Chain A
Amino acid sequence: MYCNITSCSVLGVDPIPINVEVDVSPGLPSFSVVGSPGAEIKEAKDRVFTALKNSGLGAPLSKITVNLYPADLRKDGTGLDLPIAVGILISSGQLKTEIIRDTWMIGELGLNGEVKPVKGVLPVVAKASSLGVKNIIVPAGNAGEATLIRGINILCATDISSVYNYLKDPNSAPLDSPEYTDDSESDDLLSPEYDFIQVSGQETAKRASIISAAGFHSMLMSGPPGVGKSLIAKCIPGILPPLSEKEKIEMTTIMSVAGKLSDKKALIKSRGFEAPHHSITVHGLLGGGATPKPGAVTLAHRSVLFLDELTEFDRHTLDALRQPIEDKKVHISRVNYQVEFPADFLLVCAMNPCPCGYYPDRNKCNCTEPEIKRYLGKISGPVLDRIDLCVEMTPIKLSDMKAGNNTMSSLEMRQKVISARNMQKKRYANTAYRFNSELKGSDIEKYCHLGEKEKALAETLYEKLSLSLRSYHRMLRISRTLADLDESEEIQIKHLYEAASFRPNPSYWQKM
């Protein structure tokens, strides 16, 4: 006997509906799975058989064939255990039900028959809902994320026998159908774990952070060890503006696919902080694998990607960042298909200015010029070119720390960032742009309008600082953000000067 159950697998972050066809026929006992199953799915037969046996449901000693449609698409993950088990129950005649016609199911089975949580439930439920499916059976452990989606009946399964009983008679043995409960209202944003008020001095770095957050400009801090580079980076998520509803779902989807959602607080409400170690590979950073998994850039979507010790990263790894920085997504190609991961992150980097870490303080630094040159050479020109704000930090004296602590708190800085973002929202209302840092080509002249005096100054800066055209445009974009922070429609002289002060110093990066 044959039956067909719909489930869903996830490719990248995109859900792909899968038809699980099960046929049980007389013949020598065998179990074969066809339709490009991955290793986990081939193993499913042992899990399914044992789970059925241990739940007191019989597994037939017949010829069992499972086909996964579309058969040419490689499938991975353990979410197909549950539909295969139910398919066997129906095909072997143990279960008669009509419900599976408008019900999807997903879940992994334990040997005792328990239904265990799987990765990527959120996009699957969203897909089912958008296709007008009535019910979806998900593992109880994934209830938190599944209930974020409205317009579909979520049924939570704890073990295979409860699913069996439900399908047999939905009225007498209903499955738990929880509702979404919004317990907290963005509370974690109001008091960020790392607050700029904890940072003494370092005005330049703070200033760069606020510009970076307001216009989504990437940033590089250089300074000796222990100066507070990492602390400042950790403070940045706290001054980024709140997430929109759409962005929250995007981020939660990625975390669901990566299996990083906690059961209780499923919806992600605050921006994250992703800090991969410098030994990370290209695949770890961009994503990859036989069936592509999201990398660090995708986990940092709409959040901060912090690369500490930038010069210690493999040069190829850093160079691979260029495409996601430009496109804000990662393309991964496999023979049969292509996967696209979103990767719209705010790049924040930190490094020492020289191998020993103390340049230009020649009292501590003994590095020779060729040594420093070699050290800086680890960061290729194209990568440096994509960094908007460069800042040097020096250690602060204890006496100065006590004296002038008129620091803004993260909350105050965030207010400024939000108002600057609102100005950008208004300006770019009917365009594809969201932030000043995204402006390209002729739109730079259009949106970064300069008065006569300002234009003359911009030209002087271009000549005197021997800027490239790219760094000239970068200066204009940053001064646009500075003007937005001042809530000024026009870019002023002081904005241009300040923007220019954040350029990478050519005499350090090239001549050294």
Chain B
Amino acid sequence: MIKENELYFIKKLCSVPSFNGRLGIDIINHFGSAENLFSADEKTLASLLKPSMFKNLMKADYEDKDNHYSFVSIYDEEYPLILKKISDPPLGFWYYGKLPDKKLPSVAVIGARDCSDYGAYIAKTIGTYLAKSGVQVISGLARGIDGIAQRAALDSGGYSAAVLGSGVDICYPASNLDTYEKLKKDGCIISTYKPGTKALPINFPPRNRIVSGLCDAVIVIEARQKSGTLITVDMALEQGREVFAVPGRITDRLSDGCNALIGQGANVFLSPEIFLCELSELFEAKKEGEYHPKTGHFKPLQLSEDTKKKHRGFSGNEENLDISGEEKKVLESLSLSPITADELSLKLPEFDYATLSMLLMQLLIDGHISQIGQGSYVRVFK
């Protein structure tokens, strides 16, 4: 148990981003405690640190506002064990809600901010599936894949934790405000930046190491060739996490990053069922006893070889649709890539324009398809 006084100085040290990591831990070890560090004379510090670091440290200023958030340092018992083991663990972090359960597996679901409808659908499905199987979904609350997966996990009654690039009390992006509020209540919001910090671009790469550090495996859903998501993947690999990439069509630029990862030897994400089997194997092999699936609520499907075969592909909801034959024809011509009525009429020359637009509207109001942009349509899988 840390003394109240020492805790304040740890927080003060954590409020300087460059010290909230390996450097901070090392320097505390050197002085014996954070309190000693701050009472040490400037000359000693200046001789120990780089000039820029010294300057940052001198500027350190922290005041605890009573804002219902909590703080945990690496010296605390609650500090996630899995995070402690990475090469550059944060000295401490601020959080809302409850920290991830050590007994349950955590999986990071990450991907492009401006994802396609395919990506959005996969993110939603994976988020839901993981939550229902008792897996904790970790991500960065960004627009697109991150937010969609976290929202889906929360909506199906699961647990999710978001690691922010801003202070815990600042919701970035603002468009995910309702997910942020829900995470505060049912999940967790984590940040290594002191409360009140704005979401600066330089904050994001360091936070990505926390996202991958908190989880056992990383699923990448959509990423372009040059994408911030791939920074997280690099860190995950450094930390020894398993990386799963959702394959995409080679013509889709948004899948280039994932396909390249597969080319480099990443695991292929084929379906949630198969992923869960692989995740549980990973558990038993790697984290003996400590994270054993049988001790928690984690109940992955134990799939037989037959079922595995059946689940080889991703299953949609084609069956049992209560629609007319004509509607079905139109629906089958639609996919998750947007298509306009004009392009559709080339695929289905048997329908005239008026009939086709009627069928599309019927499918739209029954919720089988949705409209993207001004006049493009995609299929909706429920």
A contact residues vs B (CB 8 Å cutoff): 201-204, 207, 222, 353, 359-364, 366-369, 390-394, 396, 400, 403-404, 460-461, 464-465, 493-494, 497-498, 500-501, 504-505, 507-508
Contacts and interface: CB of A to CB of B under 8 A. Distances in A.
Contact of B354 (A394, A403, A494): A494
A398 to B, nearest CB: 13
Counting from the closest, the 6 A-B pairs by CB-CB distance are A392-B375, A392-B374, A464-B365, A497-B358, A360-B373, A497-B361
B116 interface: yes
Contacts of A497: 357-358, 361-362
A394 B342 contact: yes
13 contacts: A203-B341, A204-B340, A222-B373, A353-B373, A362-B253, A369-B114, A392-B373, A394-B340, A403-B346, A464-B364, A497-B357, A498-B357, A508-B372
A404 to B, nearest CB: 7
Nearest to A202: B342
A394 B175 CA distance: 29
A505 B373 contact: yes
A507 B371 contact: yes
A483 to B, nearest CB: 12
A431 B360 CA distance: 37
A465 B374 contact: no
A508 B374 contact: yes
Contacts of A367: 114
A501 B372 contact: no
A362 B143 CA distance: 16
A393 B113 contact: no
Nearest to A506: B371
Given A360-B338, A404-B349, A460 B365 contact: yes
Contacts of A361: 338
A493 B358 CA distance: 9
Q: Which of A203, A396, A400, A465 is most buried by chain B, counting CB atoms within 10 A of its CB?
A: A203
Contact of B374 (A369, A391, A404, A460): A391
Contacts of A403: 346
Contact of A508 (B143, B340, B364, B373): B373
A360 B114 CA distance: 11
Contacts of A493: 358
Interface string B112-141: 011010000000000000000000000000
Contacts of B349: 404
Interface size class of chain B, counting residues whose CB lies under 8 Å from the partner chain:
35 or more
A501 B330 CA distance: 16
Contact of A507 (B251, B253, B355, B370): B370
B86 interface: no
B372 A360 contact: yes
Contacts of A400: 346
A507 B374 CA distance: 9
A498 B114 contact: no
Interface string B45-62: 000000000000000000
Given A203-B342, A369-B114, A390 B358 contact: no
Contacts of A203: 341-342, 345, 353
A404 B342 contact: no
A360 B371 CA distance: 11
A180 to B, nearest CB: 45
Given A201-B342, A497-B357, A498-B357, A392 B376 contact: yes
A232 to B, nearest CB: 12
Contact of A390 (B143, B372, B374): B374
A369 B143 contact: yes
A501 B353 contact: no
Q: Which of A369, A393, A400, A497 is most buried by chain B, counting CB atoms within 10 A of its CB?
A: A497
Nearest to A206: B353
Given A362-B114, A391-B374, 12 more contacts: A203-B341, A204-B341, A390-B374, A391-B375, A392-B375, A460-B365, A494-B354, A494-B355, A497-B357, A498-B354, A498-B361, A505-B373
B363 to A, nearest CB: 11
A16 to B, nearest CB: 48
Contacts of B370: 507
A362 B374 contact: no
A501 B373 CA distance: 13
Q: Which of A202, A359, A396 is most buried by chain B, counting CB atoms within 10 A of its CB?
A: A359
B373 A396 contact: no
B243 interface: no
Given A204-B375, A464-B365, A497-B358, A363 B251 contact: yes
B50 to A, nearest CB: 36
Q: Which of A359, A390, A394, A494 is most buried by chain B, counting CB atoms within 10 A of its CB?
A: A394
Contacts of B340: 204, 392-394
Nearest to A504: B374
B220 interface: no
B350 interface: no
Nearest to B361: A497
A501 B342 contact: no
Nearest to B359: A497
Contacts of B251: 363
Contact of A222 (B224, B341, B343, B374): B374
A367 B373 CA distance: 13
A358 to B, nearest CB: 10
A512 to B, nearest CB: 9
